[in-house]
Amino acid sequence: MDKKKKLIGCYDYTVVLTYIGLSISVIGMTQAIAGKFRSAIVCLALSGLCDMFDGKIARSKKNRTDEEKMFGMQIDSLCDVICFGVYPAMICWLLGVRGPVGWLLICFYCICSVIRLAFFNVLETKRQQEEDGANKYYHGLPITSMAIVLPLVFMLQVFVSNATFIVALHISLAVIGLLFVVDFRLKKPNNTLLTFLVILVAAAVVITILFSNFRIPKWNFPKAGLSDWLRNQLFNH
C-alpha cells in the first residue's frame, strides 16, 4: 500500500524534470496561441532539454523498484505525447499549416507520435525484463527530435521567404512523422554529440529571438491552406 501511495502521489524525484518539461510546454502553448512564436519555440527547446536529462536522473537512482521504473516510463511517454506530439503540431497549425493538406499532415504527425511512443513502451518493457541499464539504440526516430527540428525550421524564416518557410513546415511534419514509425536502429548520441545538438538548437533560438518577426497574414484564416499561401506569395507580392 505504501509503495502504491508513493507512486500515485508522484513523490519520486526522478520524474520531477519530466513534470517541469511538461509545464514548460503548456506555457509554450499559451504563448503560441497568443501569437508569441519566439517564446513558444524557446519553450519547446527548453522542454526538449529537460527530456534530454530526465532519463539520466532516473537511472541515477539505483534502487528503483520495477513499479517505479514502469511508472517513470509511462509518465515520460504521456508527457512526450503533449510536449513533442500535440505541441509542435499546434505550433505548425498556428504558423500556417492549414487546409486539407495541412490537416492531413498534422493528423499524420500526431498519429505517428502516438504509435512511436506505444512501440517504445512495448520494446522497453520487454527489454527491462531481460536486461538492466539504458538501451544503446533507438528503434525509429525518437519523438523528442521535433524539439531539435522545429527550432531549426523556424529559424529558416529569418533567411527565406514565407512561402518557402511554410513549405518547410509541411515537409518537416511529413518526414519526421514517417521516421517515427519506420523501424530502424539509431544509435543513441554520446555526450559530445548531445553537446553539439544543444549548441545548435541554442544558436537557432538566439537567431530566432534576435531576428524573427513572423506574423500570420490576415488572409491566413483557418480555411486557408498551402495552395492559398503559395498563390498569395506568387501573385500578390
> What's the pLDDT tens digit per position in 171-202?
999 999 999 999 888 888 888 998 999 999 99
Q: How far is CA 105 from CA 101, 182, 200, in A?
A: 6, 17, 26
Show me where the domains of the chain are located: 2-235
pLDDT at residue 14 in the model: 66
Q: Contact at 8 Å (CB) between 41 and 214?
A: no
> What's the pLDDT tens digit per position in 4-30?
445 454 556 667 888 999 999 999 999
Ranges 112-121, 124-133, 221-230: which has the least confidence: 221-230
Task: Please provide the average confidence, as pLDDT, over all residues in the chain.
Answer: 82
Higher pLDDT, 69 or 87: 87
Confidence of residue 59 (pLDDT cuts 50, 70, 90): low
Compute the CA torsion angle 157, 158, 159, 164 (nearest 10 deg): 10
What's domain 2-235's architecture?
Up-down Bundle (1.20)
pLDDT at residue 72 in the model: 78
Confidence of residue 219 (pLDDT cuts 50, 70, 90): very low
pLDDT at residue 99 in the model: 87
pLDDT over threshold 70, residue 215: no
Which residues make Cβ contacts (< 8 Å) with residue 19, sequence separation at least 6? 10, 79
Q: H or E segment at 138? A: strand 137-139
pLDDT at residue 62 in the model: 67
Ranges 44-58, 84-98, 205-219: which has the least confidence: 205-219
Q: Contact at 8 Å (CB) between 180 and 140?
A: yes
pLDDT at residue 136 in the model: 76
> What's the pLDDT tens digit per position in 137-161?
788 899 999 999 999 999 999 999 8
pLDDT at residue 170 in the model: 95
Confidence of residue 231 (pLDDT cuts 50, 70, 90): low
Higher pLDDT, 122 or 86: 86
* 4/127 Cα distance (integer angstroms): 23
